[in-house]
Amino acid sequence: MTITRSRARRKRVWYLLLLLPYVGLLWLPFYARAEPGLWGLPFFYWYQFMWVFITIGLIALVNWRSQ
């Protein structure tokens, strides 16, 4: 019982990764800027696009590790 419960808790720790997109995208003073640009896109825009990929990766990772 205790073994399964601590294992469940260890799996649950992976869920904390899901908080990262909220920090990354709500922390506006960090990314509301023009430089550095990428392919003509100001930082403000490509940073948001980048988080789409990071979020996909994080959710897939948590889904895999928490099974």
Q: Does 13 bind other proteins (CB under 8 A)?
A: no
As a whole number of angstroms, the distance between CA 67 and CA 60 comes to 11
List strand residue ranges (DSSP E) for the chain, in order: none
Q: Does 29 bind other proteins (CB under 8 A)?
A: yes
Nearer to other proteins, 13 or 49 (CB): 49
* CA-wise closest residue to 24 among 53, 58, 47, 1: 47
Residues at the interface with other proteins (CB under 8 A): 15, 18-19, 21-22, 25-26, 28-29, 32-34, 37, 39-42, 44-45, 48-49, 51-52, 55-60, 62-63
